[in-house]
Amino acid sequence: MTVSETGAMIAAMDPDLDPLFYAFRTGDEIPADAQLFASIEEEEEGTTRILGFAKGEFAGHAHEAYRRIVLRVNSSLDGVGLTAAVSTALAREAIPCNIVAAFHHDHVFVPATRANDAMQILAELQRSHRDG
């Protein structure tokens, strides 16, 4: 069942840190050691690919590593406010994020160096909506 009310989505978001490291790249080449997460092909400047790598395989694929936090709530595509609440909470602590909305879950990409901080912030945001 999908959740669409803002407070309920935040209370049930259950952020989960993916163990892979991610790179945002342009072009058609996908390295053999990469896992394709998403491909965005409709940009005027070319195709963007979000590629996942095991920690030891990331070196040399991009200058900045990102981590993916999956919001496990099955949020409705019509739901309003979840991504705004997440990005606002992270922005308060100067953590940049790129959010990719998919059919069942939202995926929050943050710099790898700030992933643990982001997880703490999102856990606190969730608690604040669970506890009232």
CA 64/CA 54 separation, integer angstroms: 14
> For each of the chain's 132 residues, which pLDDT tens digit applies?
788 889 999 999 999 999 999 999 887 788 888 899 998 887 888 888 999 998 766 666 566 899 999 999 988 888 889 999 999 999 999 999 999 998 889 999 999 999 999 999 999 999 999 876
pLDDT at 55: 76
Q: Which domains are present in the chain?
A: 6-131 (3.30.2130.10)
**8 A C-beta contact, residue 116 and residue 90:** no
CA 102/CA 62 separation, integer angstroms: 24
CA 127 to chain centre: 19
pTM of the model: 0.90
CA distances from 1 to 6, 63, 86, 104, 114 (A): 15, 40, 21, 10, 32
CA 124/CA 66 separation, integer angstroms: 21
